[in-house]
Structure 1
Amino acid sequence: MSMRLLIIGTLNGELINASRIAMNRGAAVTHAEALDQGMNVLRAKGADLVMIDVSLPVAELVETLARERMRLPVVACGTGTDARAAVAAIQAGAKEYIPLPPDADMIAAVIEAVAADNRSFIWRDPAMEKVVKLAEQVAGSEASILITGESGTGKEVLARHVHQRSGRRNKPFISLNCAAIPDNLLESELFGHEKGAFTGATARRIGKFEEASGGTLLLDEISEMDPRLQAKLLRALQERVIDRVGGSKPVPVDIRIIATSNRNLAEAVKDGSFREDLFYRLNVVHLKLPALRERPEDVLALAAFFAEKYAEQNGLPLRPLSAQARDLAVAAPWRGNVRELENAIHRAVLLSSGAEIEADALRSPDGEGLETAPDDSAARAARTAEAVTRSLVGRTVAEVEQDLILDTLDHCVGNRTHAAKILGISIRTLRNKLNEYSSAGVTVPDPGQRRMSA
């Protein structure tokens, strides 16, 4: 998906160069001379990033975006010698300041940071592999998808993964958190409004349905949507048209809907808080994300990723997690899931000073040690056993047997007699198996040696 960049300011030579650099990096650039014109562009088309000339009222832009509930980053740019203006822009709410004349690498880094937006999708655990495989199978279709799971499990990240593997990947991916917006404003956020439709509607504004045209609309925490709006949403899905608030004619839309919920929507249907017909319209494909505590291999992969990310962000040396820290991470309940793990690793990176991130650096926000299961060792053993069991599913008995025999032989440094005793088989049976593997081209260690790959 191309980054949608809006540049606000007079396009002199330096801003023209900045625009050209951004387009060379794959951004779709729109220009507005003044603040009012820029806001009209955002109301009509939306954007992912705003770059504004520091000589314009940056604070007013930030305040206007907040007032109109447009959540997008603002970057100020100006002459490199104007240090006072740069400080003022950051204090006003700009996320970054780019000195002019523009540096291509810096503009590219800003665009890349916004495009990434913490959307890295990492998984290793077989429990997640099953979900991801199903997601990728249906990504190319137009089917609506319902993603459920506890808060912080990565529902939005999975939705973006689906979008990136769909035929809509080069069109917008727009996300709206239904729980974060009051009911009386959510209708306008979804469907847009005409000028004068209600108090404060000073100009026409498109809603998320129109902003996502051709692409994907993610409705986060859809279970919190008011039943009256559920009816309007159902019509939009069935008829592919929406009505702006205060509008006089339907507006056609072409989007794919992905919805998320941390509640059981089937139960919400039973208790009458969610429409049954909308539930079935959304639940064409159901992707259920397991909790992080049920994905031990993901805990370690994500912990390593976050450790590298925050070491780089804070200019600190990369420190791997110690064996004890890894054990603690796998044993922790992670009720906040990936979000809680990320925060814990961020703190640990800042607190660590040795060669590794030690277990005592993994703390809760109040400085206490991480909570673990009541019986730490038993819980860890159970999780490890579960992970090992899941890793065997889908493999043949012969494949598992071969790995077991060769790994045991490695452990015994090639000693056939010792390996046979551990495996509970005769030395003759072991030799026959090893001859069979050698004939198939598999490396078998000689006595006193390990396999080259070990």
Structure 2
Amino acid sequence: MKNHVLIVEDDEMLLEFLEENLSVNGYKATAFESPTGAIEFLENNGVDLVLTDVKMDDMTGDEVLSHVLENHQETGVIMMTGFGNITHAVRALQKGAFDYITKPFKAKEIIFRIDRYFEAGSAFNKQHKINAFTQDKKQKEPKKTAEESSEEVIQQAEKRFIGENRQVNQLMDILPKIATSTAPVMIQGESGTGKEVFANLIHKNSNRSDAPYIKINCANLPRELVESTLFGHVKGAFTGAISDQKGAFAEAHGGTILLDEITEIDIQIQAKLLRVLQEKEFRRVGSQKPIECDVRVIATSNRNIAEAIADGKFREDLYYRLNVFPISIPPLRERKEDIPLLVDYFINRYTEKYGLESKEVSDDLMEVLIDRKWNGNVRELENKIHRGVILSKDNDVITLDHVEQNMFAKLDLEVSEEVLSDLPLMSIEDMELQLIKKALEHTQGNQKEAAEILGITDRTIRNKIKKASSNDNNEESQ
């Protein structure tokens, strides 16, 4: 039996094109120029998917979506929109649309999107819509405080991975298959690309979504507490162990654990992680009693894994055990077509958070944003838009001056001049260390801010400080 697609589009030529294209590709297609006519048809006929335009005269695509969400939860919705309506489309995705596509599009592209809907499976789609419908119902309840509303916006943002880039589409295509598995996942990508966002999506769409989801930032764990944090300890195991501690793996039993920046874990602890993956058990610090665990492991890293293995910093056998599903998140500079989508998404996020009217960015600012290299990736873009939303105040257009104000540029310049001044002749290695120390003094020890000033990663700062400390200790022992 053919899958039935209902097309709602008030452009007669596009409507005919879509109807013919879907029919040629094996779908049963029913087309309506009038959205009200389409709704009437939907009441008396079984339809698997609704493909609807956003902007129409009689009824908007958002209204079509709301009707389908409330009355036909087994039916999916894909939105079609022009560039000017991207904001509406992003909000539609939050409400429960399965996907959207921007005009103009090619015949293969729309078929790809429709195929993806049916390949994703009705159960995945149904849960996606139920979650969105529940959220929509909550929005109709008595108005929440500003703090409650902003928290909901943040939670919604964590459930989305915005993008139209080919690699992003491939990631979203494979997400349902990865989510329903229990195999380990290794997610690689530069800082700020969205590794944790994708990890969250895996858990949220898995059979473990109602079970614990424990997140551990391995880069921030003190070395002496890593094993205890992961596996727990018994009373008296070491100085300060005044009671038993369960540990992250015990807390995550039956659910998922995210090991963010796993390559920062000490090589000896990596061996114990390998044991957990192989034998499904671990031992608390100070105990020889094995504890069984049912935990799915998702790991992330912004490092070059091959280099880390070659340098003896990461176990090759652990890498292959984790690498059942190797996921690579592309940097923002490789998916610049997604920048307008992300800009609109973050504008919506922060205008809602601060209770402001909707805004847009100027053409000049958009051009600058698209041309920028974005070393900090999506996180850096989000920070710029966040700043722009706040500084544009009552203006409905965010301009370049709001995002790149002279006071910020001047501060960056002053910091750079301070860091680079008054350095005596020395080795390159010592000079690097002096630059790092000066930057840290200026930022009052904030490694992320110091890294941005110097144009390096905070991991590089940690490694160089660690190496310098190790050299100092060796000199003292001699």
The alignment status of 1:204 with 2:244, answered yes or no, reads: yes
Structure 1 CA distance for aligned equivalents of residues 151 and 367 of structure 2: 37
The alignment status of 1:302 with 2:342, answered yes or no, reads: yes
The alignment status of 1:163 with 2:203, answered yes or no, reads: yes
- 1:224 corresponds in structure 2 to 264
The alignment status of 1:238 with 2:265, answered yes or no, reads: no
Alpha-carbon distance, 1:248 to partner: 3.3
Structure 1 CA distance for aligned equivalents of residues 361 and 154 of structure 2: 28
Give 3-state SS (helix, strand or coil) of 2:297's partner: strand
- 2:224 corresponds in structure 1 to 184
Structure 2 stretches lacking a partner, 5+ long = 1-141, 413-478
- 1:265 corresponds in structure 2 to 305
- 1:345 corresponds in structure 2 to 385
- 1:367 corresponds in structure 2 to 408
Give 3-state SS (helix, strand or coil) of 1:132's partner: helix
Alpha-carbon distance, 1:116 to partner: 4.8
- 1:142 corresponds in structure 2 to 182
Note if contact 1:344-1:364 (Cα within 8 Å) is conserved in structure 2: no
Note if contact 1:347-1:363 (Cα within 8 Å) is conserved in structure 2: no
Give 3-state SS (helix, strand or coil) of 1:286's partner: strand
Closer, same or farther in 2 for the Cα pair 1:108/1:309, shift >3 Å? closer
Alpha-carbon distance, 1:117 to partner: 7.5
Structure 2 CA distance for aligned equivalents of residues 340 and 278 of structure 1: 31
Alpha-carbon distance, 1:183 to partner: 1.3
Closer, same or farther in 2 for the Cα pair 1:148/1:211, shift >3 Å? same
5 Å-filtered alignment, 1:269-284, equals 269-284=309-324
Note if contact 2:154-2:349 (Cα within 8 Å) is conserved in structure 1: no
5 Å-filtered alignment, 1:44-443, equals 105=144, 112=152, 115-116=155-156, 118-352=158-392, 353-363=394-404, 367-368=408-409
Structure 2 CA distance for aligned equivalents of residues 365 and 283 of structure 1: 46
Q: Flag the structure with higher helix content.
A: 2
Describe the superposition over 1:167-212 as per-residue Cα deviations: whole angstroms up to 9, x where unpaired: 1111111110111111110111100111222122222121111111
Closer, same or farther in 2 for the Cα pair 1:290/1:243, shift >3 Å? same
Alpha-carbon distance, 1:214 to partner: 0.9
Runs of 4+ in 1 over 4 A off after TM superposition: 103-119
Note if contact 1:135-1:287 (Cα within 8 Å) is conserved in structure 2: no
Describe the superposition over 1:102-142 as per-residue Cα deviations: whole angstroms up to 9, x where unpaired: x9956975984785584543222223112232333222111
Structure 2 CA distance for aligned equivalents of residues 222 and 250 of structure 1: 23
Alpha-carbon distance, 1:363 to partner: 2.1
Alpha-carbon distance, 1:251 to partner: 0.8
Q: Look up the equivalent residue of 2:375 and give its one-letter code.
A: R
Note if contact 2:212-2:255 (Cα within 8 Å) is conserved in structure 1: yes
Note if contact 1:152-1:340 (Cα within 8 Å) is conserved in structure 2: yes
Per the normalisation by structure 2, the TM-score is 0.53
Paired residues in the alignment total 268
Closer, same or farther in 2 for the Cα pair 1:302/1:341, shift >3 Å? same
Note if contact 2:150-2:353 (Cα within 8 Å) is conserved in structure 1: no
Closer, same or farther in 2 for the Cα pair 1:366/1:321, shift >3 Å? same
Structure 2 CA distance for aligned equivalents of residues 280 and 266 of structure 1: 12
Q: Look up the equivalent residue of 1:362 and give its one-letter code.
A: V
Note if contact 1:265-1:274 (Cα within 8 Å) is conserved in structure 2: yes
Give 3-state SS (helix, strand or coil) of 1:217's partner: strand
Q: Look up the equivalent residue of 2:347 and give its one-letter code.
A: A
Coordinate RMSD, CA, aligned: 2.5
Q: Look up the equivalent residue of 2:409 and give its one-letter code.
A: E
Structure 1 stretches lacking a partner, 5+ long = 1-102, 372-454
Give 3-state SS (helix, strand or coil) of 1:233's partner: helix
Percent of residue pairs bearing the same amino acid type: 46
Structure 2 CA distance for aligned equivalents of residues 160 and 366 of structure 1: 37
Largest Rg, 1 or 2: 1
Alpha-carbon distance, 1:265 to partner: 1.1
Give 3-state SS (helix, strand or coil) of 1:367's partner: helix
Describe the superposition over 1:274-312 as per-residue Cα deviations: whole angstroms up to 9, x where unpaired: 111101001111110100111123221111111122122
Structure 1 CA distance for aligned equivalents of residues 197 and 391 of structure 2: 28
Structure 2 CA distance for aligned equivalents of residues 247 and 313 of structure 1: 48
Alpha-carbon distance, 1:316 to partner: 2.5
Describe the superposition over 1:336-377 as per-residue Cα deviations: whole angstroms up to 9, x where unpaired: 1111111100111112143311223222796239x9xxxxxx
Q: Look up the equivalent residue of 2:197 and give its one-letter code.
A: V
Alpha-carbon distance, 1:245 to partner: 0.9
